[in-house]
A and B are shown apart, each in its own frame.
Chain A
Amino acid sequence: MIKVTTKTKNILVPLISIIAGFLVGALIMLAWSYNPIEAYSSMFSSALGNMNGIGETIREATPLILIATGFAVATKAGFFNIGLPGQAQAGWLTSIWIVLAFSNWPSYLLLPFAIIAGALAGAIVAGIAGYLRAQFGANEVITTIMLNYIVLYVCQYLMQQVMPTALRINTDTTKTISANGSLKIGWLSAMFGNSRINGGIFLAIIGLVIYWYLMKKTTTGFEIKAVGLNSFASRYAGMSAKKNIIVSMLLSGAFAGLGGVVQGLGTYQNYFTQTSSVDIGWDGLSVSLLGGGTAWGILLAAILFSILKIGGLGMQTIAGIPYEIVSIVIAAIIFFIAINYVIGLLFKTKNNRSKYYIPTRKEKAPNNSVDGPSEKIIEGSTN
């Protein structure tokens, strides 16, 4: 056992999880006679070895940061928002539609309008689940799953039946948006080897800072945290569970909607019909779990995730190794992070107990007072 400080441990444990995840990928590659060293070196060189790769990596990370932040806000309030794909999709289609429909507006009006509308669209979709939970206690796992499908088919319908033909190429694809509604920034793309990196990254960073500030410094964040950790005590303390459920779901959906916006106005410059839930929704969820729900964690996780995704494409072309190995590595890393308790056993944190230290609780001694076993609060009354 290695003696380290708590701070070092907090860095070492995720680091070991990441290395372990790469090792799992290496083992699978070895088992099918691929060369893992060649694979990983081609992966990193194509993701980080040139400016275009770096630009694409950042571009890939942009929506993931926003969507992961959205998932984290809901999680803090105690909700499992599995509806991120639908919320992102709503944001994507809304922003593209607005930019196409008002393409003669000046950029300084059109862009904010499209961005805000996209965020709102995501917020409305998530808000439905939040409202149903707050008002009727309807399980948000079910409602958000169902909303994913509803959004998916409604978007299909809107594309095929409602959108004016002037705005689309065919029933599956819209026209490409004009420059005044795009998040593309010429000098930025040029700087990064003409990659698809775009202004969305600034939006993502701002979003992350807002999230950090919200949770750390505001009473709204304090309430969301409190309700998520113990809804009974929050009610006792005079906080409104209903209000916080709805507020956190609206925020969560808005962030996810923004993820869709940057995907549309930044990456693709159009919208095309989706046949299943949009992948950035699930990827964002993974990034949030990987990052442990903290602002820094999300940023680093999104970058790692994107290196793997972008590098994976290069690996497939250069080394001829199936791209899927990347997702396996990502899943393995999250797995090792989930079992961090075991990895943490490798280290002994330095003892800094005072004379007042009373170990009965931390060490899981039997609970012989009437407090009862420490219990996870599953659901609070919201009447």
Chain B
Amino acid sequence: MNFVTILALIVSSTLVYSAPLILTSLGGVYSENSGIVNIGLEGIMTIGAFAAIVFNLTFASTFGSATPWLGALVGGVAGLIFSLLHAVATINFHADHVISGTVLNIMAPPLGVFLVKAIYDKGQTENITANFGYFSFPGLSSIPVIGPIFFKNTSAPAWIAIILAILMWWILYKTRFGLRLRSCGENSQAADTMGINVYGMRYAGVLISGFMGGLGGAVFAQAISGNFSVTTIVGQGFMALAAVIFGKWSPIGAMLSSLFFGFAQSLSIIGHQVPGISQIPSVYMQIAPYVITIIVLVLFLGKSVAPAADGVNYIKSK
């Protein structure tokens, strides 16, 4: 195995594992910047994964290779609808954000499995036939060295997620919508006096996180797990939540953190193929991502500061 092949293997597998994390953590960033803590990303991903798999299994013969992409959108919409629960509870009904988010997490897996049992009469679905697979960028993949590493046989959803991260950074910091969204997470009372619809903005934040989380779950299911069962999403949503905090509540930060987590996860999975790493006992490779995260957090990031009004309910007096 030459160096370029090894690098290409690492990069492509990093991208595959990062894509769901990037998408989901971007949603988390929007929710928390609007002032709503969203610990329910895990549950939202689960629902997205469920919806995408059911869609994929049902329509693969109709839509062919477009199926996983449409499935991702269906997963996003399902996540958005599911996140309405969180939005209504926290924004209108003054619920504690952490409790409400936990409800999403404990509601989603049984709901998904219940529906799978109701639809297919068994505990987990078949494997899908139309998955994301690998994608080579025409033109770019033929660039020497860089092409094979980054653009050949790579994960298309990951590149879309990276582009989305840049776009969502730009929206958050350069547009009217972004400015208003952030103002609700920073000081909701002041935002209200400025004539900003705090409830509306917070709905936008939560629903965006629902859509992105659903998308993330759908991508995970259609690129990695290939079916839906109660163990399809185990901890991916929490990793995304960690990426939000690790990335200091910025879209770019969340994207980079997700790439880092994805890299670490993929190392433990493809490590045995990589010379030098394959000799290390597997337990070290398995715990490395998590240990490194803690070390980086402690050494370099220290105390992370959330948006000032994140997690604080705004109750309009009338």
- Do these two chains really belong together in a complex? yes
Contacts A154-B287, A328-B110 known; 4 new A-B pairs at CB < 8 A: A145-B239, A276-B231, A276-B234, A334-B102
**A-B pairs with CB below 8 Å: how many?**
150
| Proximity string of chain B (72-114) to chain A, C-beta cutoff 8 Å, 1 when within and 0 when not | 0000000000000100010001111011101101110111011
Q: Which chain A residues lie closer than 8 Å to B286 at the CB level?
A: 153, 156-157
Residues of A at under 8 Å CB distance from B? Answer: 28, 32, 80, 82, 132, 136-139, 141-143, 145-150, 153-154, 156-157, 161, 275-277, 282, 285-286, 289, 322, 324-328, 330-332, 334-335, 337-339, 341-342, 364-366, 373, 375-376, 378-379
Q: Which chain A residues lie closer than 8 Å to B110 at the CB level?
A: 324-328, 331
Contact, CB under 8 Å: B107 / A328: yes
Q: Which chain A residues lie closer than 8 Å to B1 at the CB level?
A: none
Q: Which chain B residues lie closer than 8 Å to A32 at the CB level?
A: 114, 118
Take A322-B118, A327-B106 as given contacts and tell me if A142 and B246 are in contact as well, using a CB distance cutoff of 8 Å. yes
A153 to chain B, nearest CB (A): 4
Q: Which chain A residues lie closer than 8 Å to B231 at the CB level?
A: 275-276
Contact, CB under 8 Å: A378 / B246: no
Contact, CB under 8 Å: A338 / B311: no
Contacting A328 at CB < 8 Å: which of B114, B291, B298, B306?
A: B114
Q: Which chain A residues lie closer than 8 Å to B106 at the CB level?
A: 282, 286, 327, 330-331, 334
Q: Which chain A residues lie closer than 8 Å to B238 at the CB level?
A: 82, 145
Take A335-B85, A335-B100, A339-B89 as given contacts and tell me if A142 and B111 are in contact as well, using a CB distance cutoff of 8 Å. no
B114's nearest neighbour on chain A, judged by CB, is A324
12 contacts between A and B (CB under 8 A): A139-B297, A145-B235, A153-B287, A282-B106, A327-B109, A328-B111, A331-B103, A334-B106, A335-B85, A338-B100, A338-B103, A342-B93
B315's nearest neighbour on chain A, judged by CB, is A364
Q: Which chain A residues lie closer than 8 Å to B39 at the CB level?
A: 141
| Proximity string of chain B (221-261) to chain A, C-beta cutoff 8 Å, 1 when within and 0 when not | 00000000001001100110110011000000000000000
A110 to chain B, nearest CB (A): 29
Contact, CB under 8 Å: B283 / A154: yes
A276 to chain B, nearest CB (A): 4
Q: Which chain A residues lie closer than 8 Å to B204 at the CB level?
A: none
B6 to chain A, nearest CB (A): 24
B97's nearest neighbour on chain A, judged by CB, is A338
Contacting A324 at CB < 8 Å: which of B117, B241, B303?
A: B117
Contact, CB under 8 Å: B242 / A146: yes
Contact, CB under 8 Å: A379 / B111: no
| Proximity string of chain B (5-38) to chain A, C-beta cutoff 8 Å, 1 when within and 0 when not | 0000000000000000000000000000000000
Q: How far is the CA of A327 from the CA of B99 in the complex (A)?
A: 15
A148's nearest neighbour on chain B, judged by CB, is B235
Contact, CB under 8 Å: A145 / B312: no
Q: Which chain A residues lie closer than 8 Å to B114 at the CB level?
A: 28, 32, 322, 324-325, 328
